[in-house]
């Protein structure tokens, strides 16, 4: 592993995403990517008696699926790197209790998918583990309860609000395999331009995404056309548009590649009432580990840069009138390199 | 005609609530308390009773009437018992509404398990 520039790593040993596990809730199952997920639950409760237990169950299921698909037992996984949106990342810690794998908890809000993947890849690349697993999860009802209002209250939402994905995504990273490979990662800086509206997180996070993408290109001396696709985590309609404006202002030629957003891919805007689009830890996780890696397997994509975005607010910081600190972590995934 | 008046006044109060959220970017609890306080202030100015007479349920059903009732009770008891009446009277008129909220919440909690 090599430090590149200010904040990026190049993984020389080419850690491999050996297998992934993706599970989603019923609403995601009605979206256009349903066929890309390993399992679609038909009940939001996932057969549990609380939403929090449901979220944990999703985490456990995704982790077990990834191990099963790779043909290894859970106790062969050296480290589990996981995080979620709940206070004190309880979904991950409770699930790690069940899975009984040495656990590294990470918190990056919705950027946790790529933060955990970068950490797992670093562990494997540095020789610290033959197998490390990155997992993250979110649940629409737990996020609503913690960050917004109880669902029974039926509070109105503005069109800039986003809909938290119910699901979990796991990626098992190994020393060797046929790919796809995790080739580089860029760890983001906290960017806070003073947005205070938690119903407009796309706008709050867009500058962080742009900052990380620029840093990534700068550190690794790349131009956007190196990638077939650059995808942000959950900026959704509002943030995606803003990111394009910021790229233009910076004179960054984003038009040379395809720039998309996971938050705009998982739901059908015409049929599903999700305001600006999707959000949540699971958003970029299930879209990347399900849909995008499937496209790589089919050969439609060779090199992608996934830039997961996180709004690092808490209910207390929001109630005290603080703005929303945001972050974005980028991971480069490539097929067919050695 | 009663119906039309109730609809227009009640609707106008709801419209103000919606504008508080959409234009003034208030969260739902802020918008709600603003309307309650407005009802109390309007009653203090002596304007809410005429509004109820004009619009009936159009003025009594929205949350503004809760502010009106709080203020009403406080004033009545003030006249009867002096300053201490402000405190004892606050929930005099509103006690039916508050008790109903508690009792029905209790009954609902016996049957359902809220998950939030």
ipTM of the complex: 0.76
Q: Closest by alpha carbon to A55, among A172, A140, A116? A: A140
Does the pLDDT at position A174 exceed 90? yes
| pLDDT confidence of residue B62 | 95
B22/A contact by beta carbon, under 8 A: yes
Give the C-alpha separation, A127 to A151, whole Å: 46
Q: pLDDT per residue over A66-84, tens digit each?
A: 999 999 999 999 999 999 9
pLDDT, tens digit (0-9, with 9 covering 90-100), for A184-221 = 999 999 999 999 988 899 999 999 999 999 999 999 99
Closest CA to A166 of A52, A11, A299, A63: A52
Comparing CA positions, the residue from A241, A234, A160 lying closest to residue A195 is: A160
Cα dist. A75→A23, A62, A68, A129, A196 in Å?
A: 21, 15, 12, 12, 43
> Can you name the residues that pair with A132 across neighbouring β-strands?
A79, A173
> pLDDT, tens digit, for every residue of A265-323?
999 999 999 999 999 999 999 999 999 999 999 999 999 999 999 999 999 999 899 99
pLDDT at A338 over 60: no
Question: What distance in Å separates residue B101's CA from the closest CA in chain A?
Answer: 15
Considering only A139-143, A193-197, B26-30, which range has the smallest mean pLDDT?
A: B26-30
pLDDT in tens, A28-40: 999 999 999 999 9
Cβ-based contacts of A145 with chain B (< 8 Å): 116
- Distance from the Cα of B10 to chain A's closest Cα (Å) equals 19
Judged by CB atoms closer than 8 Å, whether chains meet at A152 and B25 is answered as no
pLDDT over threshold 80, residue A337: no
Q: Which of A150, A155, A156 sits opposite B116 (nearest CB)?
A: A150
Distance CA(B99)–CA(B93), nearest Å, equals: 11
Nearest-angstrom CA–CA distance, A47 and A210 = 40
pLDDT digits (tens, 9 = 90+) for B9-22: 999 999 999 999 98
Dihedral angle computed from the Cα positions of residues A40, A45, A51 and A56, in that order, rounded to the nearest 10 degrees? -50
Q: What is the mean pLDDT of chain A?
A: 96
Are A139 and A63 contacting, i.e. CB atoms less than 8 angstroms apart? no
Least confident of A29-38, A86-95, A148-157: A148-157
**Least confidently predicted of A53-57, A220-224, B33-37, B69-73:** B69-73
Model-level pTM greater than 0.80?
yes
Q: Which residue has the tokens 């990517």?
A: A33
Out of A114-123, A130-139, A248-257, B107-116, which region has the weakest mean confidence (pLDDT)?
A: B107-116
Interface check A86 vs B, CB under 8 A = no
Q: How confident is the model at residue B110 (pLDDT cuts 50, 70, 90)?
A: very high
Closest by Cβ to B28, choosing from A151, A152, A155: A155
Number of residue pairs across A and B with CB atoms under 8 Å? 19
Contacts of B115 in chain A (CB under 8 A): 50-51, 141
- CB atoms A150 and B25 under 8 Å: no
Residues A197, A198, A200, A202, CA torsion sign: positive
Other beta carbons less than 10 A from residue B79's beta carbon? 9
Taking the Cβ of residue B28 and every Cβ of chain A, the question of whether any pair is shorter than 8 Å is answered with yes
pLDDT at A152: 80
Contact A51, A145 (CB under 8 A): yes
Chain A (154-193) residues lying within 8 Å, Cβ to Cβ, of chain B: 155-156, 158
Check residue B16 and give its pLDDT.
97
Q: Which residues in chain B are contacts of A141 at CB distance < 8 A? A: 115-116
pLDDT of residue B97: 87
Task: Calculate the CA A9 to chain-centre distance.
Answer: 18
Mean pLDDT score, A140-164: 89
Q: Do A141 and B114 touch (CB under 8 A)?
A: no
Paired strand residues for A131: A174
Peptide bond preceding A311 in cis form (omega within 30 of 0): no
Q: Give Cβ neighbours of residue A150 (< 8 Å, ≥ 6 apart).
A: A144, B114, B116
Contact B64, B15 (CB under 8 A): no
Q: Average pLDDT for residues A128-133, to the nearest whole number?
A: 97
Tell me which chain B residue has its CA closest to the CA of residue A50. Answer: B115
Element (H, E) at B101: helix B95-111
Banded pLDDT at A18 (limits 50, 70, 90): very high
Chain B contact set for A51 (CB, 8 A): 115-116
- The per-residue pLDDT for A336 is 74
Contact A51 B115 (CB under 8 A): yes
């Amino acid at each position: 592993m090599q430090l590149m520039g200010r904040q990026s790593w190049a993984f020389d040993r080419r850690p491999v995403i050996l297998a992934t596990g993706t599970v989603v809730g019923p609403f995601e199952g009605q979206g256009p990517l349903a066929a890309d997920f390993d399992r679609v639950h038909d009940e939001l409760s996932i057969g549990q008696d609380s939403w929090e237990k449901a979220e944990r169950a999703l985490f456990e299921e995704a982790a077990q699926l990834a191990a099963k698909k790779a043909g290894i037992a859970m106790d062969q996984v050296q480290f589990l790197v996981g995080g979620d949106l709940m206070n004190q990342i309880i979904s991950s810690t409770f699930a790690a209790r069940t899975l009984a794998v040495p656990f590294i908890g990470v918190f990056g809000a919705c950027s946790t998918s790529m933060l955990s993947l970068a950490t797992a890849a670093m562990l494997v690349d540095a020789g610290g583990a033959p197998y490390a697993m990155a997992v993250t999860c979110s649940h629409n009802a737990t996020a609503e309860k913690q960050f917004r209002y109880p669902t029974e209250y039926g509070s109105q939402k503005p069109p800039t609000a986003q809909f938290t994905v119910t699901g979990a995504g796991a990626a098992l990273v190994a020393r060797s395999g046929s790919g796809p490979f995790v080739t580089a990662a860029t760890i983001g800086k906290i960017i806070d331009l003073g947005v205070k509206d938690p119903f407009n997180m796309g706008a709050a996070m867009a500058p962080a995404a742009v900052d990380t993408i620029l840093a990534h290109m700068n550190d690794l001396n790349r131009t956007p056309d190196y990638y077939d696709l650059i995808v942000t985590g959950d900026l959704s309609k509002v943030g995606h548009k803003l990111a394009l404006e910021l790229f233009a202002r910076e004179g960054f030629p984003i038009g040379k590649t395809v720039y998309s957003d996971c938050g705009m891919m998982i739901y059908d805007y015409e049929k599903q009432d999700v305001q600006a689009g999707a959000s949540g830890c699971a958003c970029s996780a299930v879209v990347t580990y399900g849909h995008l890696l499937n496209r790589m397997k089919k050969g439609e994509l060779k090199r992608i840069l996934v830039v997961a975005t996180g709004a690092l607010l808490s209910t207390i910081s929001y109630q005290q009138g603080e703005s929303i600190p945001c972050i974005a972590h980028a991971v480069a995934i490539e097929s067919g390199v050695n | 005609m009663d119906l039309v008046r109730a609809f227009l006044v009640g609707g106008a109060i709801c419209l103000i609530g919606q504008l508080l959220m959409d234009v003034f970017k208030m969260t739902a609890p802020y918008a709600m308390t603003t309307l309650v306080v407005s009802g109390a202030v309007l009653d203090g100015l002596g304007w809410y009773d005429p509004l109820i007479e004009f619009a009936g349920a159009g003025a009594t059903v929205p949350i503004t009437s809760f502010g009106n009732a709080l203020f009403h009770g406080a004033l009545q008891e003030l006249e009867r018992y002096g300053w201490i009446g402000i405190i004892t009277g606050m929930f005099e008129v509103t006690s039916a509404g508050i008790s109903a909220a508690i009792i029905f919440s209790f009954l609902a909690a016996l049957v359902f398990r809220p998950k939030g």
